[in-house]
A and B are shown apart, each in its own frame.
Chain A
Amino acid sequence: MIKKSVICFFVLICFSAIKANELNSNDQIRYQSLIQEVRCLVCQNQSVAESNAELAKDLRREIKLQIQDGKSNSEIKKYLLDRYGEFILYEPAFTQKTLFLWFSPIILLLMFYGWFRKIGN
């Protein structure tokens, strides 16, 4: 397994050397997960990874460029947020209005546990 991944890594390195506009393997993984978290704003409900729309292509290009510029994930997300608003990110930010949303797993589990005890006894 390790041997294979080393070979794989070198193959990828070779490719990135040939094609200046491609990403290295770590950045490729980062790029793939990032574009899945960004919503294509003109589509029904698709991430920019899935969409064929022009906007999605532009956003993919933009994200790739920013990764090549050495920007971190949070910097890229901040850029998208400032430019397009909260709707663009599939992971809602932790703010006052999403407080209940983020605490809902705990609240629900406690609530249902209480219910469970009540029926159980």
Chain B
Amino acid sequence: MIPELGQVFLVAALASALLQFLGGIGLFSRKNENIEAFIERITMFQTFSLLICFGLLTTAFLQDDFSVLYVASNSNTALPFAYKIAAVWGGHEGSLLLWVLILSIWTFLLSKDRALKSSPDLRIQSLSILGLISFGFLLFILYTSNPFERLLPSPIQGRGLNPLLQDPALVIHPPTLYAGYVGLAVPFSLAVSSLLTVNNHQWAMHARTWTVLSWVFLTGGIALGSWWAYYELGWGGWWFWDPVENASLMPWFLATALMHSLIVTEKRGIFNGFSTLLAITAFSLSLLGTFLVRSGVLISVHSFASDPQRGLFILGLLAFFSGSALIIYSIKQKKNKQEKLHPLSRESLLLLNNVFLCASAGLVLIGTVYPLILEMLDLGKISVGPPYFNFVILFPFIPLLFSIGVAVFSNWSNDSKNLINKVSPIILIALMLGFAFTFIYGWDSLLTLIGVFLALWTILTGISPLIKNRYSINKSTNIIPMMLGHIGLGIMILGITVTSSYGITFDDSMNIEQTSTVGDYEFKLTEIGKRNGPNYLAQYASIEISKDGQYVETVYPEKRVYDTSSMPMTEAGIEANLFRDLFIAVGEDIGGGSWSMHLQYKPLLRLIWYGPIIMILGGLIRVFLGKKQTERHQ
């Protein structure tokens, strides 16, 4: 009964999404007030229907209703309660349902945006476009990926959830990331509806807060994913340049660019076309990410060809939404106001940085799809992995990081006088600190020095408004978010540079009571044993860590074999503080009571996640203050 009810509400949501679109284009009434009242109600109804759908699917999971195909493939009776809930979005169908649910929540929130009510045309059109996007994806769900599909006769036991996904971080990682992905639909719809209606730069003011909010979610989602990969995938890496990761990184680059471009568009009324284009491409890359992850094309081009329905459908949606948005852009976009920019004005520097961010997104895109294209052209299978990305990303990122710091000191509208005088003391301090840093940690390479210098430079220029506000930075709601954003970025870059340059990895075979040394730390294997988990069997080791003979901590890395999968999963033992992580993973039994152990010393690793937390904080402050400010403007 529950799945059928879910089906009904899914169809109801589909119908209301269509009505939302049709109402928006004025099919039922020409009067703005009528349309607005209608859309508000239908939006609420759609969100309500999808919430019920989601609740019903969750109920099916909690009741172990294996007559539902999706439940049978992603859960079983032994699964702990919390993971039964997380399993709702652990597979393809459920995660798409989450996608449209989040879209409808964003739409609902946009319909409640008080500031936007002053621009009824913009408001109606953007809600209408969001309705169309929702309609497309609901159609996709009903047509190819229905989570409520029955499996008859129903099996006694389900297949269970992928053990990799049985982790607390997975409970929040996908929803957070999706909120970011899908949130970019809001600036997209505002940009396109602006082109269709008022066609001026007014949309930028409304889009800013929404863009920052989706950026916050996107940043959080990516950071959570990286953290999860670090402790769950078992080998101490925190970024793999996996196509799935890249799919989230590309929209992040463009959302960051959009956020900054919108500042210029709102403040100075220029770069309207550029901002519009960024809003369109950022959401398009979100759709492309959805396609890459959901079509199966990443495993192999051929696996995509064997079940092309899903992939082709998303590709169709992508082509339709980006294509029509770009066509509308090319027809409607007015020529830029001809205004000569001063090369060292804040406008120019922001534009330059945004261009570097676009180039970064472009590079990641090329690296991600290149092997797919070669395979499609029958030119053989190649891999494009970390060595490639780590190298090419330096091209846009080194100049970008440098120019971020300069931009902080620049003025609007004209060349900042004695910009060089202003920045050179900070460059000197950052350089000196950089040298001191590489002296303490030991010389590694020029690239390490550059990385440390750029990180410190970004942090110092981020802090500088606080020390002295003489640097012509207007007191505004942007200053604290800007500072936190830049400081967070610098801290993250510092963590990345130091951990990659000074980290030590050591594989050793150890017997009981034997000690292995990595850096300044000694690791002593004191015990090897077995224990039973709720749905797995674990082989654990007990490792005593000490430094210069002083006891530090005992950790218990595990190797788990889940009931539903033969592949062993590594649960690392991690001892962490602000300055370093010690990471231990159990390898194989190599006979004679000897075990292979994977030991790592990772200095400043935590900064890679503390940085984004600070950035997120900045973003949240911006959302909070920005909302108030826009409302005051009305």
Chain A interface residues toward B at CB < 8 A: 1-2, 4-5, 8, 11-12, 15, 19, 21-22, 28, 31-32, 36-37, 39, 44-47, 49-50, 52-53, 57, 85-93, 97-98, 100-101, 104-106, 108-109, 112-113, 115-116, 119-121
Contact = CB atoms under 8 A, between A and B. Distances in A.
B295 to A, nearest CB: 15
A116 B383 CA distance: 32
B367 interface: yes
Interface of B: 233-235, 237, 240, 242-243, 271, 273-274, 298-299, 336, 340-341, 343, 348, 351-352, 355-356, 358-359, 362-363, 366-367, 370, 374, 379-388, 392, 395-396, 440-442, 505-509, 516-517, 519-520, 567-568, 570, 588
B519 A112 contact: no
A97 B440 CA distance: 44
B505 A92 contact: no
Nearest to B385: A90
A66 to B, nearest CB: 16
B355 A37 contact: no
Contact of B341 (A1, A12, A113, A120): A120
Given A50-B237, A109-B359, A90 B388 contact: yes
A32 B600 CA distance: 11
A57 B588 contact: yes
A98 B123 CA distance: 47
Contacts of B274: 119
Q: Which 7 A-B pairs have the closest CB atoms?
A: A90-B385, A91-B387, A105-B395, A50-B235, A87-B381, A32-B505, A116-B355
A92 B371 CA distance: 10
Nearest to A4: B520
A2 B509 CA distance: 27
Contacts of B299: 44
26 contacts: A5-B442, A11-B517, A31-B507, A32-B507, A39-B383, A39-B385, A45-B240, A47-B385, A52-B570, A57-B588, A86-B380, A87-B383, A89-B383, A90-B383, A90-B386, A91-B387, A91-B388, A92-B383, A100-B366, A104-B363, A104-B366, A104-B367, A106-B395, A108-B362, A112-B356, A119-B351
Given A91-B385, A112-B358, A101 B508 contact: no
Given A108-B359, A115-B355, A92 B382 contact: yes
A52 B374 CA distance: 29
Contact of A120 (B351, B366, B385, B387): B351
A106 B273 CA distance: 25
Given A50-B237, A120-B341, 8 more contacts: A86-B381, A90-B387, A92-B388, A101-B370, A108-B359, A109-B359, A119-B271, A119-B351
A50 B234 contact: yes
Most buried by A among B243, B352, B359, B395: B359
Contact of A121 (B242, B341, B362, B396): B341
B581 to A, nearest CB: 16
Nearest to B241: A90
A53 B570 CA distance: 12
Contact of B366 (A88, A89, A90, A101): A101
A59 B20 CA distance: 57
Contact of A112 (B340, B359, B506, B508): B359
Contact of A22 (B358, B359, B509): B509
